Structures are given as structure tokens and as C-alpha cells.
Amino acid sequence: MTARRRRRPSPPPANWWGEGPAPWERWPGASLRLDDAGGLYHFDAAAADQACDFFPTFLRHVKGDFAGRPFELLPWQRDLIVRPLFGWKRADGTRRFRKAFLEVGKKNGKSGLASGMGLLLAFGDDEPGAEVYAAAADRDQARIVFGDAAVMARENPDFLRAADVTVLRNAIVQTATNSTFKAVSSEVGTKHGFNVHGLIFDEFHTQRTRDLYDTLYKGTSARRQPVVFIITTAGDDRESICYEEYEYAKKVRDGVIVDEQYLPVIFESDPAADWTAERTWRASNPSLGVTKSVEYMRAECAAAQAEPRKRNSFLRLELNIWTESRTVWIAPECWEACRRTEPATDLGTLPCCAGLDLSASADLTAIVLAFRRRDLARPAETLDVETKEGAAPPVQHRLVLDYEVEIVPFFFLPRDVLHERARKDRVPYDVWAREGWLRVTEGNVVDYAEVYRVVLEEIRAKHKGLAQVGYDPWNANHLASSLTAAGVQMVEVRQGYASLSGPSKLFEALVRSRRLRHDGNPVMRWCVANCEVATDPAGNIKPVKPGGAAQGTRRIDGVVGAVTALSRLMVLGDAVRSPYAHRGVRTVG
């Protein structure tokens, strides 16, 4: 800040972070172990102190319980972000770190920190003509960081006077140095001309393409010591630029990659830990009990337990755990609880239907068998569902769940694309193939002749109870005709709410009541983890892929095959069920 003198350099502390334990001891798993890299860098304590002092001296909080109070940095903000970012220097006196990546659960104060950081870089960093941008995927998100910064500046006369800035609607301007702080979003496209000294990228996980980031990042090339500060919570798209950055940040933090100008800070809970335990929450919420209340977390956790479709949102936003989809339909522990420990030996005699989900060409193809087995060990339950057959009106069914369903999936993938798909989808198709969970067909597209052979020689020949095979007529008519000619009863099951809602609700009910059994196939488990559920205004549901760019890499074929098989098993059940099983016997005359 031109109106403020720099402090005279002071002797460095015994430890660069000051007093107390090292950051990596206070926040294990979140912080990078920093030293001078053999004399390449030195720590400027005066510069670090000046940057930290900027916040409470010139800024005030603008929201919540802290509104109006001086912006005192929280310990993790001070020792993991501001002190290392502004204190560690190169031999020429410029900053060591050019990029900082912060991933932390929401409501921990990351946006407020980013707003203050933007003002510091624009007007307190002694950079003539500084251009600082608050960027995000859309205009509203971009204005959150910029808007808070504008309020911080406008409502603090000391800052306005010392910095000599003017707060405009879309920019904060310092005329004397020709420095600006603005908000930008993806609407700028790939326009060039940016000369970026500071880039604050908010909620990076919502950024669907690289265009805005690449454009702005290239704009830092002409600056002496630019700073790119990326802040985000976890997302659900593992093909996104954010996940790529997250993976890189973890490797730098863990020493797998050496990048001396990259500062990673990642607060995340262990995906394997008990997500309902309060001790688990603290790993991803360093401000818990300060900016984020424990009562809030308890309420959100309770809601996620009561309604599983809120589970993934809680894991992503509150615990900062990357998920396979935005909302969970079938909770992983519920699916795992349905896994049988011993092989089923009675499948050859049980009533059975199959569901066929064919890929367009080179994607995953699934056949899922559903066997019905009487369950005499538990009381019967009832489930009201609606089914629709072709052009006929919908039919209401009251299903008596006095049985369990065993599912057996078969998966197919072309050999020539196996490794490419493993790389693109980031799942171990090659391992699954070696272990026998996935069938590999020759060529670069799924060999429908092999699917035909499996249906006839491995399914129908072994399972005499096979009654019907349901299939989506899109892309499957030729195979369906061939199987029909071979004596298999093929039935069209279109992929809309009318056809899939009833069996989808049955699938969910079977899993929750542990009346569904499976062999732990990891491909099927992955499909279940990926699957979301869509709901129409009438309350009908159907399985769908995750939204956004993740649609291209997250497969749900096994779930679709299972639901399609259940759609036929439901009808088969009505046809063969004796009325005396649930109505009793009446004697007449």
C-alpha cells in the first residue's frame, strides 16, 4: 500500500511460523513441510508480519456473527496461507510461491480470506498497475469474493484513506498506481489482454472447462511475482480441472512431486472414517466452533442420515470428500450390507428374469440376472408401486415382499479400448478383467455375438427358471430379434419414468431391507456408487448418471440392468403368486 511504509526487517524467528508446534504437527495431513530447500529460499518475517497485519488493521468482517469486527486471521489462515505465501522469498527478494491451492469444507472462512487477499494483492503489495481478478464459473459466484471485498473497502474509512481507493459497482480502483480489483467469470470466454498480478479463483470445482482459468493464468506471465489463489470445496467430477489440480496438490503436499512455487493446503476427512463422528468432522473443518458451529454440523449430519439422498452433499460440502455423484441413491454401507459371504447354490432352480443394458459401441455393456427366493425368516412387507406395459394404462401393484432377490451381473468391454477406458474413466477395468469380474470381447466395439452366446449358453442353459429378458429397444433390436428367434422371451422396457419408477422403488426397498443379495462384484459396486436418482413432479423415480461433465465417465449400466430385470420379475411375481399366499382360504357351501 503506497500510503504505508514497509517495516524495517526484523530478525527471523527460530521457526518461520513463529511460536508453538510446526503447522504440520498442528494440522497433520493438511500442511506442507517447508524449509529453505538447501539455501534456495529464505523467510522474511517482516514481510509475513506485514501481510498478516493488513487484515485486522484495514479490514472488517462483513457477514455473520463477526460482522464489523477487525479481520483477525484464524491460526490456520495465518500459518498455512498468509505467512508462508508472503514470507518465503527467493534470492532476488520476490515471493517463492506463485500458486496456492486451498480445499476446505464450506463455512470455514475461505471466501472471506480470499476477499481480503484480493485487496492485499491489489492495494497493499507495492505492485504498480496491479490487476487482481476474482474469478468463478458464473458471474454470481465471482461476485461473492469481489462483493465482500467491496463492502470491506467501502465500510472502512481507514482503508479508503490509506489506500486512496474508489469503490465502483464493478471494480475497486486505486488511481495513483493504476491498480484494480475486478470480478470475472466464464462469460469472458477466451479473450486475452489480461496482465494478472493476483488471481482469486472461487469454488474451482464448479469450473467445467479450462478456458477461463487458462486465459487468466497465462495473463500472469508478464508479472514479477504473481499469485494465483485457488479456493474450493470437493466436487463430484473426477474429470474436471479441479480434480486434476486437487490430485496435483496432494502429490506436492506428500512429496511425490517437487514444486517449490506451489503451496497446497487440503483439509479433508478420511473417506473410510465414520462420517457421523464429530472427531471426523474436524479434519475438514479447521474453523469448527468458530465460524462454523458444531450444532450446524450435527443438524446437517442428522439430515443426511435420515435422507440418504443428502449423504453425498454432506460428504462433499461439509467433510470435503470427493464423491462419485452429487447425491447418493444407495448408500455404500447399505449396498455392502447386502453382500453375501457364501456362494449361492440354488440359483439354477429359482424363478429368474434378466435386464439387458447395451452400450452404443465401446462402452460398458451389462446383463443382470434377478432371482427370486422365498424368505420365511422375516415378516412380509408391502410396497405400493405402479407399472406400465406398452400403451396400456398404468397398473397399481401392492407387492408383498416375502422374498429376497439375488442379483448376478455380467459386464462386457471391448479389448481394444480397455486401457483407454481405464485411463479416461479412472477406474481399474484392467484389474477387474484379470480378476474375472469383467468380460473382455475382441475388437474395439462390444461383440454382440458374445453377448448372444452368454445369454444362451451360460444363462439360459444353467438357469431353467429364466422367464423373460427385459431390454431397452434403443440400439438392441437386432440382438433382441436374434434371441427371440432362439426361444428367449424378450420384452421391451423403455427407459422412462413410467417403466422404471416401480422397479426402481422396488430396488431401493430391497436394498434398504437387506432383501437383495449380491456377490460383491466391484464393477456393480462402482455402478451403484455412481448412480443418482431423478424424480418427476408426480414422485416417480428412475436411475440416472451424475450430472455435468461426469456423465461421460461414470457408468451406471449395472444398476439399469438390475432395475430392468426387476421390472420383469415384478410382473412374473404377480403372474405366479398364489392368491392364497396372502388372502387365505375360503370354504364355500
Range of the domain at 82: 23-266
Would residue 533 count as lying in a domain? yes
Same domain, 50 and 153: yes
Same domain, 299 and 352: no
Same domain, 262 and 284: no
For residues 207 and 137, the answer to whether their CB atoms sit within 8 Å is yes
For residues 309 and 328, the answer to whether their CB atoms sit within 8 Å is yes
Same domain, 285 and 254: no
Q: How far apart are CA 328 and CA 315, in angstroms?
A: 10
Q: Can you give the CATH number for the domain in which 235 is found?
A: 3.40.50.300
Sequential DSSP letters for 148-176 = HHHHHHHT-HHHHHHHTEEE-SSEEEETT
Q: Can you give the CATH number for the domain in which 493 is found?
A: 3.30.420
Same domain, 282 and 262: no
**pLDDT < 70 regions, the chain:** 1-14, 187-192, 325-327, 360-361, 387-392, 547-552, 573-589
**Could you report the per-residue pLDDT of 233-257, keeping only the tens digit for each?**
998 887 789 999 999 999 999 998 9
**Could you report the per-residue pLDDT of 262-291, keeping only the tens digit for each?**
999 999 999 889 999 999 999 999 999 999
Same domain, 310 and 363: no
Would residue 352 count as lying in a domain? yes
Q: How many domains does the chain have?
A: 3
Would residue 118 count as lying in a domain? yes
What's the confidence (pLDDT) of residue 505?
92
Choose the final residue of a domain: 266, 292, 313: 266
What's the confidence (pLDDT) of residue 458?
94
Would residue 329 count as lying in a domain? no
What's the confidence (pLDDT) of residue 588?
40
Same domain, 86 and 214: yes
Would residue 335 count as lying in a domain? no
Same domain, 282 and 378: no
Same domain, 368 and 509: yes
Same domain, 393 and 302: no
Would residue 273 count as lying in a domain? no
| Chain mean position to CA 32 | 24
**Could you report the per-residue pLDDT of 4-55, keeping only the tens digit for each?**
444 444 444 568 998 889 999 999 899 999 999 989 999 999 999 999 999 9
What's the confidence (pLDDT) of residue 10?
46
For residues 440 and 413, the answer to whether their CB atoms sit within 8 Å is yes
Same domain, 295 and 408: no
Would residue 584 count as lying in a domain? no
Which has the closest alpha carbon to 165: 141, 132, 211?
132
Would residue 364 count as lying in a domain? yes
Flag whether the pTM goes above 0.85. Answer: no
Same domain, 125 and 236: yes
Which has the closest alpha carbon to 2: 226, 227, 176?
176
